[in-house]
Structure 1
Amino acid sequence: MIAAVVLVVYTVAAAIWLPRLGRRAARWADRAPRLAIATWQAAGASVVASAVLAGLAFAVPADVVGHGLAGLFRACADMLSSRSRLTVVGAVALLVAGLVLARAVYCGAATLLRARTRRREHAELLGLLGRHDSDLDAVVVEHDERLAYCLPGRNAQIVITTGALRTLAPEQVAAVLEHERAHLRGRHHLVLAWAEALVRAFPGVPLFVRGRAEITRLVELLADDVAARRHPRVQIAAALVRLATGRVPAFTLGAGGETALVRVRRMLNPEEPLRRRERVAGLLAVAFLLAGPAMVALVPGVSSFLAHNCHSLFSL
């Protein structure tokens, strides 16, 4: 019961307070966007997992787990029979845990399916309006607005408008296209889909709302950093300035957008990367967020298991 209460308290506290810690770590996140993305993802997964495990901890007594798998299976069978040990509180907790898990899975699948449908429709439109440029390895669309974006998925494509080609220098075009390739190679659309699914599944939760906004920003920083490995940062910054006002389709990933001007300053004034100890601390935080709820849920069962088996051993 104590483990269940701890998990419930952690779920509520993390959902409300972790975003505030994220604001304090904003500069740290800008220096290591990949690690920051993993941290936000781990935080979201940790809250969902702790909510589900709290329900299970309320429903399944620690002594049942402590008697081993045979005892656990027997208790589960009893719960489904007239000899049920499941209390009203346990039944409600188990129902809530199932609903949380089902809601997360459903919204995740719905988000992926919706985005896939819209991308397929957009790809069909590009087939009619665009032409593939083999030199750029991108689809060129006749349009005055300066746009560059990628359409992820099975048949991934990079799209750039003639307005962007007329405005950008060749070096800047190459840098922008590398930015979009970084999105495709990193499968950033799946990262964004996870963040979007959590917001849709549990609207209004501060952690998930803040996490979506941060992950949306961080994937752009990460793609900038990948592009900067092959192209001068000044060329990326110049391209971002020219693409800042472009509005790409919501289900795509574009080089411009609302964060472009902030990213320009970051490109022109790069900060020192994280030191080893800072990176190790970040990795440990990710590991704690992912493993913490499971460890809390397992402690009572493991303690009961050890007590039962040690007692049996000393009785021989």
Structure 2
Amino acid sequence: MTVATILVLYGAFAAVVLPGLLGRVAWTDRAPRLAIAMWQAASASVVVSALLAAFAVAVPASVVGHGLAGLFEACAALLGHDASLNTPATRIALVAAGLVLARLACAGGAVLLGARRERRRHAEALALLGRHHTGLGAMVVDYEERLAYCLPGRRGHAVITTGALRSLAPEQVAAVLEHERAHLRGRHHLVLAAAEALTRAFPRVPLFEQARMQVARLVELLADDVAARRHQRVHIAAALVQLATGRVPAFALGAGGETALTRVRRMLHPQAPLDRREHLAGLLTVAVLLAGPATLAAAPGVASFLAHHCHSLLTL
């Protein structure tokens, strides 16, 4: 029970305190891909801690220590063959773990299916109202508002309005469409869907709420950086200024939006990338967040294994 208690306490601590700690990390704008991984790892660590806490209650450390065969025997015992394991605490732990997984599955399915349905409707409308521009490699829609966005999915494509084409110079159009293709290639809609699913499954959890906002911001920074590999930053910045007030569909990823002006400053005044020490520190943070709960949960089983089998190993 000690390990389960520590895991639960860690999950509660991470859910409440980690948003403030991670929010003060200074390098996130300089390495958005690594920062996205950090927020994802933090969110995953909370969910994994809850599941492993239930596992620690349901399966004694001595059973884990005897290896997979013992673990399979414990699973059979949990179904009723061994009364010593079929306790109220075990049943409660398994029900709690099942509820967490079911809640995640339902929320994730609702987010993915809802977005897919909305994208399909929008794609049908674009097929009627838009036209594919071979030179741009994008769908052009006759619309006065300045918009550029991508419609994710199996047949995802970039979309730009005639209002944006009239307002942007050719090099700016090329830069902003590269930004949208970066979203498509990176499958950023799935990253956002995962963050959205957590907030929908477990609302009002500070870490999940903050992770959703930060990931939405960071995927835009990442797409800007990808576009900047092939296009001048000044062209990206100029396009962002023009598109800042555009409102794209909620299920799409757009170049403009609320973060556009902040990203303009970032494009015009780029910061140095992370050095090796900073990059390793970021990777270590991600590794600790991911491996920490699993290591803690495995520790009693490993200790039990050593206690029961170390003597026999030494006598060989």
Same fold (TM over 0.5): yes
Equivalent residues of 1:48, 1:101 under 8 A apart: no
Q: Which residue of 1 aligns with 2:182?
A: 182
When structure 1 is superposed on structure 2, of 209-218 and 67-76 the one drifting more is 67-76
Q: Which residue of 2 aligns with 1:195?
A: 195
Q: What is the SS of the residue equivalent to 2:256?
A: coil
Q: Give yes or no for the alignment of 1:153 onto 2:153.
A: yes
Shift of 1:106: 2.1
1:95-146 per-residue CA deviation (whole Å, 9 max, x = no partner) reads 1111112211221122111111111111010000001110101111000000
Share of identical aligned residues, percent?
70
Q: Which residue of 1 aligns with 2:270?
A: 270
When structure 1 is superposed on structure 2, of 281-290 and 63-72 the one drifting more is 63-72
Q: Which residue of 2 aligns with 1:129?
A: 129
CA distance in 2, matches of 1:72, 1:283: 32
Q: Which residue of 2 aligns with 1:49?
A: 48
CA distance in 1, matches of 2:6, 2:102: 23
Superposition TM-score, scaled by structure 2 size: 0.97
Sort the Cα spacing of 1:182 and 1:314 in 2 relative to 1 into closer, same or farther, 3 A. Answer: closer
Q: Which residue of 1 aligns with 2:39?
A: 40
CA distance in 2, matches of 1:311, 1:153: 57
Q: Give yes or no for the alignment of 1:226 onto 2:226.
A: yes
Sort the Cα spacing of 1:140 and 1:309 in 2 relative to 1 into closer, same or farther, 3 A. Answer: same
Equivalent residues of 1:176, 1:255 under 8 A apart: yes
CA distance in 2, matches of 1:72, 1:23: 40
Shift of 1:314: 6.2
Q: What is the SS of the residue equivalent to 1:79?
A: helix
Structure 2 unmatched ranges of 5 or more: none
Q: Give yes or no for the alignment of 1:108 onto 2:118.
A: no
Q: What is the SS of the residue equivalent to 1:86?
A: coil
Shift of 1:60: 0.8
Shift of 1:312: 4.0
Q: Which residue of 2 aligns with 1:94?
A: 94
Q: Which amino acid aligns with 1:146?
A: R
CA distance in 1, matches of 2:236, 2:166: 16
Q: Which amino acid aligns with 2:67?
A: G
RMSD: 1.3
Report the number of matched residues: 315
Q: What is the SS of the residue equivalent to 1:3?
A: helix
Equivalent residues of 2:80, 2:86 under 8 A apart: no
1:156-184 per-residue CA deviation (whole Å, 9 max, x = no partner) reads 11100000000001111011001001101
Q: Which amino acid aligns with 1:223?
A: A
Equivalent residues of 1:220, 1:255 under 8 A apart: yes
Superposition TM-score, scaled by structure 1 size: 0.97
Q: Which residue of 2 aligns with 1:83?
A: 82
Q: Which amino acid aligns with 2:106?
A: Y
